């Protein structure tokens, strides 16, 4: 029978007949941990009701483009934990991080060397890189999809009518040596959406909502595991307190200032400009 001492065992037993063994394992552990949590904090009826109201509001904030539950998972560090467990970096492969909610529109196809900045505000920046596999061989023709916030910390979808659609997004095809390069502006740090229940949670906890400045990069190619990661701007505020725990030290790169008119001209950049190089190592399918 159900009592305080045996609550978890009794409820877990009710799931013992779940035919799918993995679902059974998950439900059993969910019951065990939830009951331990309620006992640990001595959850009151009022607190339970506040939790239900919070989750209900979280659901009501979701629509076709906004996913407040994922944002909740993000600020609780659960998204990054799942991402990190599912993509443990092996053999020097590039570490992954969260995809985030702003990859909601497809990036326009761009040629190597193109600019993804359709506005012209911000510090001009050249991004270069090369995609390798774990054995050190190049990945020719890898698809390199990039998207980023602008110099004021906004994605194009947050400024409809103000900036051209697809600003600061591009889908590049690496050359025969796996190399890619494009022109952009240095992104700024920005706050995650705070006008919903997750924002309320952060305010109640005295936590800031900011993400360190970054460029999103997703690399795919036949026969390799798709890599979803970020390139973080060294020196950005919030590298040590990113609101969604997305920063990994190996992904932080110096955006070097280049003052060299001839190099600038060669790359179609104004002088001076910032330059960052991001070598990327992906894993072959089935390789570790
Ligand atoms: C982003 O980097 O675009 C992002 C990630 C998680 C939550 C909000 C934004
Ligand atoms: Fe982002």
Tens digits of residue pLDDT in 141-156: 999 999 999 999 999 9
Q: Give yes or no for a contact between 221 and 201, defined as CB atoms under 8 angstroms apart.
A: no
What pLDDT band is residue 88 in, cutting at 50, 70 and 90? confident
- What residues contact residue 267 under an 8 Å CB cut-off, 6+ apart? 113, 126, 181, 183, 273
The closest alpha carbon to 169, from 154, 149, 142, belongs to 149
**Which ligand 1 atom sits closest to the C-alpha of 155?**
3
* Ligand 1 pocket residue status of 170, Cβ below 6 Å: no
* Ligand 1 pocket residue status of 74, Cβ below 6 Å: yes
- Separation of CA 91 and ligand 2 centre (Å): 27
- Separation of CA 215 and ligand 2 centre (Å): 7
pLDDT over threshold 70, residue 288:
no
**Distance of alpha carbon 29 from alpha carbon 40, whole angstroms:** 16
What pLDDT band is residue 72 in, cutting at 50, 70 and 90? very high
87 vs 3 pLDDT, higher one? 3
Of 147, 207, 246, the one to substitute when testing ligand 1's pocket (max ligand atoms within 8 A of C-beta) is 246
The closest alpha carbon to 184, from 217, 221, 136, 227, belongs to 217
What pLDDT band is residue 110 in, cutting at 50, 70 and 90? very high
pLDDT over threshold 70, residue 287:
no
Q: What is the mean pLDDT of residues 156-180?
A: 96
Of 67, 244, 247, the one to substitute when testing ligand 1's pocket (max ligand atoms within 8 A of C-beta) is 244
Quick check: bond before 272 cis, omega within 30? yes
pLDDT tens digits, one per residue of 188-231? 999 999 999 999 999 999 999 999 999 999 999 999 999 999 99
pLDDT over threshold 70, residue 58:
yes
Q: What is the mean pLDDT of residues 16-45?
A: 98
| CATH number of the domain located at residue range(s) 74-282 in this protein | 2.60.130.10
- Separation of CA 100 and ligand 1 centre (Å): 4
Nearest CA to ligand 1 atom 9: 100
- Average pLDDT over the chain, rounded to an integer: 96
* Ligand 1 pocket residue status of 102, Cβ below 6 Å: yes
Q: Give yes or no for a contact between 166 and 150, defined as CB atoms under 8 angstroms apart.
A: no
Residue 37: per-residue pLDDT:
98
**Distance of alpha carbon 169 from alpha carbon 190, whole angstroms:** 17
What pLDDT band is residue 16 in, cutting at 50, 70 and 90? very high
Q: Helix %, strand %, coil % for the chain, to 5? A: 30, 25, 50
Nearest CA to ligand 1 atom 7: 100
Phi, psi torsion values for 68, nearest 5 degrees: -70, -30
**Which ligand 1 atom sits closest to the C-alpha of 193?**
8
**Distance of alpha carbon 223 from alpha carbon 43, whole angstroms:** 49
Residue 87: per-residue pLDDT:
86
Ligand nearest, relative to CA of residue 153: 2
- Separation of CA 31 and ligand 2 centre (Å): 34
The domain locations on the chain are: 7-67, 74-282
Q: Please give the model's pTM, rounded to 2 decimal places.
A: 0.95
pLDDT tens digits, one per residue of 116-144? 999 999 999 999 999 999 888 999 999 99
């Amino acid at each position: 029978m159900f009592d305080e001492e045996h609550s978890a065992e009794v409820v877990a037993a009710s799931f013992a007949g779940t035919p799918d063994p993995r679902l059974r394992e998950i439900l059993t552990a969910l019951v065990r941990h939830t009951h331990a949590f309620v006992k640990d904090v001595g959850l009151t009826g009022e607190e339970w009701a506040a939790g239900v109201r919070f989750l209900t509001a979280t659901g009501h904030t979701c629509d076709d483009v906004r996913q407040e539950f994922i944002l909740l998972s993000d600020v609780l560090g659960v998204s990054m934990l799942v991402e990190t467990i599912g993509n443990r970096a092996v053999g020097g492969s590039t570490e992954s991080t969260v995809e985030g909610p702003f990859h909601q529109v497809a990036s326009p196809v761009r040629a190597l060397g193109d600019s993804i900045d359709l506005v012209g505000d911000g510090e001009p920046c050249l991004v270069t890189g090369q995609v390798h596999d774990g054995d050190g061989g190049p990945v020719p023709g890898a698809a390199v999809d990039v998207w980023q916030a602008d110099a004021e910390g906004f994605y194009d979808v947050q400024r409809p009518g103000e900036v051209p659609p697809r600003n600061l997004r591009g889908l590049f095809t690496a050359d025969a040596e796996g190399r890619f390069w494009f022109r952009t502006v240095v992104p700024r740090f920005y706050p995650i959406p705070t006008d919903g229940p997750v924002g309320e949670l952060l305010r109640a906890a005295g936590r800031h909502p900011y993400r360190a400045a970054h460029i999103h990069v997703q690399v795919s190619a036949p026969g390799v595991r798709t890599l979803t990661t970020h390139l973080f701007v060294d020196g950005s505020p919030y590298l040590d307190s990113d609101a969604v725990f997305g920063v990994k030290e190996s992904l932080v790169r110096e955006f070097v200032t280049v003052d060299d008119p001839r190099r600038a001209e060669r790359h179609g950049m104004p002088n001076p400009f910032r330059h960052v190089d991001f070598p990327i190592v992906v894993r072959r399918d089935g390789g570790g």
